[in-house]
Amino acid sequence: MKKFSIFFLALAVVMVAFTAGCQSTKVDIGIVLPTKDEPRWVQDEARFTAALADTDYSVEILFSQGSTATELSNVETLISKGITVLIICAQDGDAAGAAVEKAKAEGITVIAYDRLITNTEAVDYYVTFDSVAVGEAQGQYLVDHATGAGNPLYLYSGAATDNNAFLFFEGAWNVLQPKIADGTFVIKNSAEAVGLQANATLTRTQQSSIIGQITTNWDFNTALSLAQSNLTATTAADKGDVFILAPNDGTARAIADAFAADTDVTSYYVTGQDAEIASVQYIIDGKQSMTVFKDVRTLVADAIAMAVTVLEGGTPTTTGSYDNGSIDVPAKQTAVVVVDQANVRAALIDSGYYAETEFTFPA
Ligand code: BGC
């Protein structure tokens, strides 16, 4: 009998301790980011951590490491910790639907961060940069630096699982297509794009057929080997002074390295986006032509402001909406800034975004 009551007493102590433990791990805002393997998302994590340093709400950030399965289990972990708001940048826009539907079923408010989650009703809000404008800025940069006719053009895109890859390509096509149609540029690495070059606008299916040939999958190694095989498949006459649409900084550096190593390439212009530190150095060194600076501080501030509004029982303000294939998702959109050698210091260092000590400037 005595042994029995000691057992129950011990059990009660363990249960109290366990409950207290559970309460102390309660999280208000859960954040899921796609991968630590790209500087872009490590940057977002750092900016989130800085912005949340003095919030009263508890926050947990998890990375999906390029895996939809990990993304789902991250969301499940955060649901079990009692989150009220989920801020999620999807690994795969369609596949993430299953994860956010689980969150939604628990009454959690879902904010898609940077990448839209597609073909589901379980997205409440979307905070994003103007991704069509990103692609337009990339295309415009190439147009502004091309003279005469017949300039070789090499096209590369992001991952087909990322809705943004379509928006970036759409923006670039808006600007490049008239200059392909008038002979300023000649596409060298996509038969699908050549076949569609008379079309001022493309359907999603047409975009997919081109992206299928030019995708980097947002992966540096894929970008490098695709650029190398494009350069092997083309002749010296397809090279010389070349123009390259690269979708982001990581892939731009890989593609630039491939083109720089080809002796038939006399000069190249290559685009990028994200203002990653390594690409800012490439711009300073003349190895990458431009980047599209997306001030992550603004995106983070918008996402947190939305989350806090929800936690305090309010309704976030939005500035427009995005059709995700199922619903129009109310969205808050941020503008982007073009950076090249001419304004790199003003835009990224004088603005306080990066410390000067991160870079080596020519003496
Ligand atoms: C983001 C880019 C990023 C890319 C690869 C896109 O969805 O908008 O900033 O470079 O994914 O991670």
pLDDT tens sequence across 148-206: 999 999 999 999 999 999 999 999 999 999 999 999 999 999 999 999 999 999 999 99
DSSP state of 120: -
213 and 317 share a domain? no
Q: How large is the average pLDDT for residues 340-351?
A: 97
For residue 250, give every residue at least 6 positions away whose Cβ sits within 8 Å of its Cβ, in sequence order, or none. 38, 39, 40, 218, 220, 223, 274, 276, 279
**Cβ of 92 below 6 Å from ligand 1:** no
23 with 31: CB under 8 angstroms?
Answer: no
**Residue 280: domain span:** 131-294+339-358
Residue of 180, 110, 111 whose CA lies nearest to 146 = 180
Residue nearest (by alpha carbon) to ligand 1 atom 10: 248
144 and 201 share a domain? yes
The reply to whether 257 falls in a domain is yes
CA 129, CA 168: separation in Å to the nearest integer?
11
* Token pair recorded at residue 335: 């503008």
Site to probe by mutation for ligand 1, drawn from 38, 40, 89 as the one with most ligand atoms within 8 Å of Cβ, is 40
Atom of ligand 1 nearest to the CA of 35: 12
**Cβ of 276 below 6 Å from ligand 1:** no
The reply to whether 265 falls in a domain is yes
**Cβ of 71 below 6 Å from ligand 1:** no
What is the b/e burial string over 285-300, where b = at least 16 CB atoms within 10 angstroms of the residue's CB?
A: eebbbbbbbbbbbebb
The reply to whether 6 falls in a domain is no
Each residue of 195-209: pLDDT tens digit?
Answer: 999 999 999 999 999
Atom of ligand 1 nearest to the CA of 218: 5
The reply to whether 12 falls in a domain is no
Number of domains in the chain: 2
CA 316, CA 329: separation in Å to the nearest integer?
13
The reply to whether 64 falls in a domain is yes
DSSP state of 106: T
The reply to whether 249 falls in a domain is yes
Q: How large is the average pLDDT for residues 257-274?
A: 98
Please name every residue paired with 322 in a beta bridge, in sequence order, or none if there are none. Answer: 329
CA 230, CA 233: separation in Å to the nearest integer?
5
Q: How many angstroms separate the alpha carbon of residue 146 from the centre of ligand 1?
A: 26
Each residue of 112-143: pLDDT tens digit?
Answer: 999 999 999 999 999 999 999 999 999 999 99
Site to probe by mutation for ligand 1, drawn from 65, 162, 333 as the one with most ligand atoms within 8 Å of Cβ, is 162
Atom of ligand 1 nearest to the CA of 134: 8
The reply to whether 4 falls in a domain is no
**Cβ of 130 below 6 Å from ligand 1:** no
**Is a pLDDT exceeding 80 seen at residue 10?**
no
Atom of ligand 1 nearest to the CA of 249: 10
**With 0-12 CB in 10 A as exposed, 13-18 as middle and 19+ as buried, what is 268?**
buried
The reply to whether 13 falls in a domain is no
Q: pTM of the entire structure?
A: 0.93
170 and 280 share a domain? yes
**Cβ of 164 below 6 Å from ligand 1:** yes
Q: Of all helices (H) and strands (E), which one includes residue 71? A: helix 68-80
307 and 228 share a domain? no
The CATH number of the domain holding residue 147 is 3.40.50.2300
